[in-house]
Structure 1
Amino acid sequence: MDDPLTRQLQELADRTRRPIAAFLWVLRVLEHTRQRLRREGHVTAQELLEGQRELVVREYGPMAFEVLSHWGLRESRDVGDVVFAMVDAGLLGKTDEDDRADFDTGYDFHETFVENYPW
């Protein structure tokens, strides 16, 4: 764990009692979303959640819900908590309009990744 970012993320994970995998996943989703939108910089909560929906199904298929749950990401609000923990730690930026509550109107993970999974 010589990488400074990894050290910062591990400290943040320890402080928030969330697995480091949740932070690494959200950073990966952020990069995926930026690539999908073909732009750098700011991504809204809804754009990030949609990027996650695409990436987690592509990467983990029918195990998407289980994998996210294992990382402590059981609902959209959990993703927001991880994002804002990184904002508070200075690892991500935000606009004045961004709010943790933006993640409250996401989607139901169980419904999306289990009940409505495209078998």
Structure 2
Amino acid sequence: MRKRDFTSIVEEIVEKDSRYLKESYYFVREGLEHTLKTIGKQKHQKIEQLSGKQILEGLKDYALKEFGPMSKLVLNEWGVKSCKDFGQMIKNMDLYGLLGKTEMADLKDFQKGYSFTTAFVKPFLPTRSTVAKKGKGRKDNQSSSKRKKKVDDSGKTHNHSKE
């Protein structure tokens, strides 16, 4: 029996479950390798020993590393809109033997994951203090220019600034 390669198996998975594009399966495979390298440096773990939480954190880290502020957009384009989708894809990959002999985390672990907006958008939003400082500066500039010039009822402008 000839061993099938990753590409042909992913094509078969996508034919039966078209919710996710094949690129998303490549991303998950690479994200799992990234996670294993990151965690493996710490604990020498194998994929069957990873919890759902560890997998989700690793995939988040990998997405941010690869796509930065475009992470959510790219994943959504591939059909991946929540942590539950990651869990479903991993289940599909496991059913087709792409993850080796595993005892993967329960799909419930993936449902309890993070919000994609919090994980992939929020890190790139300006901080509240930066926005507040910019807004405060504009008000100060506006009020000082108002103090300098006043228009009387006849339409003439008078300069009242202290020099």
Query: Which interval holds the TM-score relative to the shorter structure?
Result: 0.7 to 0.9
> What does residue 38 of structure 2 align with?
36
Range with bigger deviation, 26-35 or 9-18: 9-18
CA RMSD of aligned residues (A): 1.6
Partner residue, 1:63:
70
Instruction: Indicate the structure whose relative CO is greater, using CA pairs within 8 Å and at least 6 residues apart.
Output: 1
Q: Percent identity?
A: 28
> What stretches of structure 2 of length at least 5 have no aligned partner?
126-163
Secondary structure of 2:36's aligned partner: helix
TM-score by length of 2: 0.65
Structure (1 or 2) with the larger CA radius of gyration:
2
Task: Flag as ranges the 4+ runs of structure 1 deviating above 6 A.
Answer: none
**Count of matched residue positions in the alignment of Structure 1 and Structure 2:** 115
Query: What's the secondary structure of 2:55's corresponding residue?
Result: helix
Work out which of the residue numbers 102, 113, 130 in structure 2 matches 1:94: 102
Scaled by the length of structure 1, the TM-score of the pair is 0.88
Q: Structure 1 stretches of 5 or more lacking a match?
A: none
Shift of residue 83, structure 1, vs aligned partner: 0.2
- For 1:74, the equivalent position in structure 2 comes to 81
